[in-house]
Amino acid sequence: MLRLSNGTGPHEGRVEFFYNGMWNGLCGKKTDASAGNVLCRSLGYDRAFAVLQHGGFGDDTEAFFDGISCPASQSSYQKCRLFKYRSNYCSKDFGHLSISCDIHENIDVRLTGGSGDHEGRVEVFFDQAWGKICANDLWTLDIADVVCRDKGHDRAFIIYYDDTYGQGDLISVQFDEVDCTGAETNLTSCTAYRYQKSFCEDGAFEAASVTCTSSELFITFYYSFISYDCD
């Protein structure tokens, strides 16, 4: 049996399986978006919106499992593989796996620190708080285009991987990764991975930022350097 506990509703919470006569959690280390989607489909939802690999809804059950692997096309967790955890405790870098299943609620997005509503640090309102998105290697033009369309603009003109528009509130990091195809009109249609720490993985200065435009031109800034492709 599968359940989500400690969430604000049946659509979210700490993932637990009933095994050996008791409810057991699992660590988030060996889990990806496919597993999150399968778990949500097992509970009657379309997909996972957020996969919280670093906890988020408490760690007050033993973590008997180290992770879960599921074929992306499965509709039930019964075809998934659970990895048994030897010590019953998650490593210091990963908490109990939690998920938030998509219930089609809009995720509010704002751009802060810029000269207008067309640019700034990307922040999202999720789980009753505003927080930034970490600008790791997965902060791409596809995701930035979705953010800009969400704010009423055509596309992204410049994306930033540094603190161009400030660091934001360091204790409010909402998403470490966001996965969009680029065709979405808002971030609600994308899948997000929440990072349960007070800073982004590679340092506190990585706040995803963007300048939106209606132009066809774009420039990508990477850690304040400009890369030219010369013949």
Tens digit of each residue's pLDDT (9 = 90 or more) over 82-122? 777 655 556 555 677 888 887 766 778 899 999 888 999 98
Res. 125: pLDDT tops 50: yes
Question: Which of 69-78, 106-115, 220-229 is predicted with the least confidence, judged by mean pLDDT?
Answer: 220-229
- Whether 23 and 112 share a structural domain: no
- Whether 125 and 221 share a structural domain: yes
Question: Which of 40-44, 65-69, 85-89 is predicted with the least confidence, judged by mean pLDDT?
Answer: 85-89
- Pick the residue with more confidence: 125 or 172? 125
Which of residues 53, 72, 101 is at a domain's end? 101
CA dist 142 → 53, 91, 138, 146, 230 (Å): 23, 33, 10, 7, 24
- Total domain count, the chain: 2
Residue 25 inside a domain? The answer is yes
Q: How confident is the model at residue 231 (pLDDT cuts 50, 70, 90)?
A: very low
Percent residues over pLDDT 70 in the chain: 68
- Whether 116 and 84 share a structural domain: no
Residue 231 inside a domain? The answer is no
Q: Which domain holds residue 147?
A: 108-226
- Whether 113 and 161 share a structural domain: yes
Q: What is the pLDDT of residues 154-195, one digit of tens each?
A: 889 889 887 788 776 644 556 666 777 778 888 877 776 654
Token output for 152 = 């009423």
Strands (E) across the chain are located at: 2-5, 12-19, 22-30, 48-52, 63-69, 81-84, 98-101, 108-113, 119-126, 129-133, 155-160, 173-179, 191-194, 209-213, 219-222, 225-226
pLDDT score for 217:
47
Residue 27 neighbours by CB under 8 Å, 6+ apart: 63, 65, 66, 67, 85, 90, 91, 94, 95, 96, 97
- Whether 46 and 116 share a structural domain: no
